[in-house]
Structure formats: structure tokens, C-alpha cells
Amino acid sequence: MKAIIIFLMFFSLFACKQQTSDMTKLQDRIKVLETQVANSYKPGFGESMSSVQVHHAKLWFAGINKNWKLAEFEVHELKEVLETIKKYQKERDESQLIDMMNPTLDSVSYAIINKEVKSFKRSYSLLTTTCNDCHLQTKFEYNIVKTPDMQQFSNQDFSMKP
């Protein structure tokens, strides 16, 4: 009986030591993973806004050239960038206002689906105004967005080819 009690005590001590060792390994692994997450790539707000600027311009040229498939693609890209901002920059005050863009993007999409240039121009103008309203509300009023007046992508044909 005494031998059994000694065996159980020894086994209990061994089990505790093993658990402590496993716990230390897990804590070390967590620290490594936390460091990796902290150092992983996260798109910056300005980088995302530069992408918005590109897609905003391309959307204009696609729409006025009646390239509705490209225009639809550019609206999708704009929505994707805005979702990226909400996901990776949620701590910024500016990100809280991103959803104000959705109704205007929906309006542009409606014009694209209906292939109406006049409606497209009107909804695009509203989109641009909404961008500027957001900049005003977030104290970036010096960053003024406008309808592009010249095509800056010389390596892309915005007309719809048959």
C-alpha cells in the first residue's frame, strides 16, 4: 500500500512537471505568433486612399466611354478597397465614415446596369461630392477630389472594343 501511495505521488509530480513544460511551450509559441501578427503587412490608410483615387479615375473613363463591364469592375474595386480600410484601419476615425460611400456607389452601379451615361455622370458627380464631404468631416478638407479632366493611364484603352 505504501508503495502504491509513493508511486501515485511520484506520478502526480511527473504529470505536473509535464503540464508546466507543455504550458511553457504553448506560451512561447503564442509569443512568436503574436510577434508575427504584429509585424505582418497591414495596408496603410493613405495607401488605400491612393487606390481609391485610381479606381475613381478609371471608373470615370470607363463610364463616359460606355465600357460598362469595366465600369462595373471599377465600382467593385472601390467597394473592395473601402472594405479593406474598414478591416485594417478600424481604429481610425475616418474609417467610421466609410459607409457613407455605399449609397453613392449603389447609385453609380444602378446607372451602369442601366447603361445610362447621363445618370452615370450625375451619380459619379454625387460620388465625388461624397468623397469631399467625407474629407471635410474628417479634417482632410485640403484633399479635394474632382472629376478627372485628362486620362492619366496611357497604357489602358477605356473604349469598349467589339
Residue 131 per-residue DSSP state: H
Residue 66 resides in a domain? yes
HSE-CB at 126 with a 13 A cutoff on CA atoms is 17
CA angle 31, 33, 36 (to 5 degrees): 110
Which residue range(s) make up the domain with 116?
Answer: 46-137
* Cα–Cα dist 108/117, whole Å: 10
Residue 147 resides in a domain? no
Look at the chain and report how many structural domains it folds into: 2
133: cell is 464631404
Residue 77 resides in a domain? yes
Q: Are residues 99 and 30 in the same domain?
A: no
Residue 146 resides in a domain? no
| Euclidean distance between the first and the last CA atom of the chain, given in angstroms as a whole number | 93
Q: At what angle do helices 102-113 and 45-64 cross, to 10 degrees?
A: 30
Q: Are residues 34 and 50 in the same domain?
A: no
Residue 155 resides in a domain? no
Q: Are residues 35 and 50 in the same domain?
A: no
Each residue's pLDDT, cut to its tens digit, for the chain (162 residues) gives: 666 666 555 556 555 666 677 777 778 777 777 777 677 788 889 999 999 999 999 999 999 999 999 999 999 999 999 999 999 999 998 899 999 999 999 999 999 999 999 999 999 999 999 999 999 999 999 999 999 998 888 888 888 776
